[in-house]
A = this chain, B = another copy of it.
Amino acid sequence: MDWQQVFATRNSRMKASEIRELLKLLDQPDIISFAGGIPDPALFPKDDFQAAFSDIFTSDQSDTALQYSVSEGYKPLRDWIAVQMADLGVPCDVDNVLITSGSQQALDYLGKLLISPRDTMLIGWPTYLGALGAFNAYEPTYDKLVPFGNRTASDYAQAATDAGGQVKAAYASVDFANPTGETLDRAARERILALADDLDIAVIEDAAYQALRFDGEAIPPILALEVARKGDIEACRTIYCGSFSKTLAPGLRVGFVVAAKPVIAQMVLLKQASDLHTPTLNQIAVERIVRDGFADQVAKIKKVYGARRDAMLAALEAEMPKDVQWTRPEGGMFVWLTLPDHLDGAALLAQSLESERVAFVPGSAFFADGSGRNSIRLSFSRADEATIAEGIKRLGALLRRTG
């Protein structure tokens, strides 16, 4: 059978990521990997999970945990999230919260909710690869949100019309973003809001790393800034996406969306039609862990990742040639390096694997148009400080040889 003749046109946008395929090859034990942006399993609260699952199966919750449940999500977990959001400056109630299977699913649903083919999404340049993957299924056009140029709302609107649709949303990863590690300052957040108001579009705030701030002053979420302006989440256009993947464990696939009720109500229908609900068991386990131990768990991982960030920045300072620049993240998992113009991140990776046994991700993977060839992403989440120092030393030596 010629499957191409029955596949819908959207599938032509769904290609295997070269980067993801490459990352599968990097599990060899002698490689120092700064590639995958994934948590260190040593920091998973395993004892808490063991206790949570044991309690569920020895309590009267076991029937509930194994049964179908509502698409909105487990109410005690949604209640807990609503309280956390109030602490972040977003007073809301349980009906403003939807549980998703990781924040990746929230991005998929937001593509499904908003994008008709040829509509425009405003995104960072570079941006989170998984957002591009999720949105691509709905066949959007992309335009640059960040870095900001001098374009006005009507410039954006005209470009979208020329592309055959309308601007639907601005997507921004706000804190210690994947891939750059950079944080949008308050002025940038206010500017995104003002642009969204002018265009009358949604703002998708990706806050996957929000809890992982090591130092510096926390900046209110875009949604909190908008609530402060407009008085009520129901008047807000910002859709906040959070996750427990970076703080507890990603293998559970539990994330959430916080937004005005008409958005949540429609997303509940998308959830019902696409997988009925996030596993009941996983939601109950997460709620049992966060209600008592979230602050301690976050403090524990911030201490470890913060020390690794320090080690990576110190090593970069000591080892990199003068013509290499890098970001200085205040949290998260990533540092972004800008190499001299004539260097290519993908070619450098091939060399680095061959001669240095050090892995990272070439930066062009994170640009919707494949630009950014002279950049690379380093993750400091998985290696200890001594390994980070050694890996950066090798990378610096390679760059001095090739630069």
Q: A99 to B350: give the CA distance in the assembly, Å.
A: 33
Q: Give the residue of B53, B104, B201, B280 whose beta carbon is less than 8 angstroms from that of A275.
A: B104
Stretch from A110-118, A307-315, A389-397 that touches the partner: A110-118
Q: Tell yes or no: A20 within 8 A of B by CB.
A: yes
* Cβ B137 vs Cβ A273 within 8 A: yes
Could you say which of A114, A251, A276 has the most chain B C-beta atoms within 10 Å of its C-beta?
Answer: A251
Q: Tell yes or no: A237 within 8 A of B by CB.
A: yes
Q: Give the residue of B17, B251, B260 whose beta carbon is less than 8 angstroms from that of A280.
A: B251
Q: Tell yes or no: A146 within 8 A of B by CB.
A: no
Q: Is the interface of A mostly helix, strand, loop or mixed?
A: helix
Nearest chain B CB to A273 CB, angstrom units: 4
Closest to A237 in B: B1
21 A-B contacts (beta carbon < 8 Å): A1-B200, A8-B112, A11-B266, A14-B270, A14-B273, A15-B269, A16-B269, A20-B272, A46-B63, A53-B53, A53-B54, A64-B251, A69-B251, A104-B273, A104-B275, A108-B273, A133-B272, A136-B273, A253-B276, A253-B278, A279-B282
Q: Hey, what's the 0/1 contact readout for A290-325 against B, CB within 8 Å counting as 1?
A: 000000000000000000000000000000000000
Nearest chain B CB to A74 CB, angstrom units: 10
* Given A41-B67, A58-B50: A275 in contact with B116 (beta carbons within 8 A): no
Q: Tell yes or no: A367 within 8 A of B by CB.
A: no
- Having A8-B115, A41-B66, one finds 18 other A-B pairs with CB under 8 Å, namely A1-B235, A6-B169, A10-B116, A16-B269, A17-B272, A24-B70, A44-B62, A44-B63, A44-B66, A50-B57, A53-B54, A108-B275, A133-B273, A137-B273, A252-B279, A253-B277, A253-B279, A282-B282
Closest 5 CB pairs of A and B: A50-B57, A66-B249, A251-B280, A41-B63, A133-B273
Q: Chain B residues with Cβ under 8 A from A236's Cβ?
A: 1
Q: A129 to B291: give the CA distance in the assembly, Å.
A: 37
Q: Tell yes or no: A158 within 8 A of B by CB.
A: no
Q: Chain B residues with Cβ under 8 A from A252's Cβ?
A: 66, 279, 281
Q: Tell yes or no: A102 within 8 A of B by CB.
A: yes
Q: Tell yes or no: A168 within 8 A of B by CB.
A: yes
* Cβ A270 vs Cβ B67 within 8 A: no
* Cβ A269 vs Cβ B14 within 8 A: yes
Q: Chain B residues with Cβ under 8 A from A114's Cβ?
A: 6-8
* Cβ B68 vs Cβ A38 within 8 A: yes
* Given A44-B63, A251-B65: A8 in contact with B116 (beta carbons within 8 A): yes
Nearest chain B CB to A192 CB, angstrom units: 15
Q: Hey, what's the 0/1 contact readout for A327-369 against B, CB within 8 Å counting as 1?
A: 0000000000000000000000000000000000000000000
* Contact count band on A: 35 or more
Q: Hey, what's the 0/1 contact readout for A65-87 against B, CB within 8 Å counting as 1?
A: 11111100000000000000000
Stoichiometry (number of copies)? 2
* Cβ A262 vs Cβ B14 within 8 A: no
Closest to A133 in B: B273
Q: Chain B residues with Cβ under 8 A from A202's Cβ?
A: 1, 6
Q: Chain B residues with Cβ under 8 A from A125's Cβ?
A: none
Closest to A119 in B: B8
Q: Tell yes or no: A138 within 8 A of B by CB.
A: yes
Q: Tell yes or no: A150 within 8 A of B by CB.
A: no
Q: Give the residue of B58, B66, B134, B251 whose beta carbon is less than 8 angstroms from that of A279.
A: B251
Closest to A277 in B: B253
Q: A57 to B7: give the CA distance in the assembly, Å.
A: 41
* Given A114-B8, A137-B270, A275-B105: A281 in contact with B251 (beta carbons within 8 A): yes
Q: Chain B residues with Cβ under 8 A from A66's Cβ?
A: 41, 44, 46, 49, 249-252
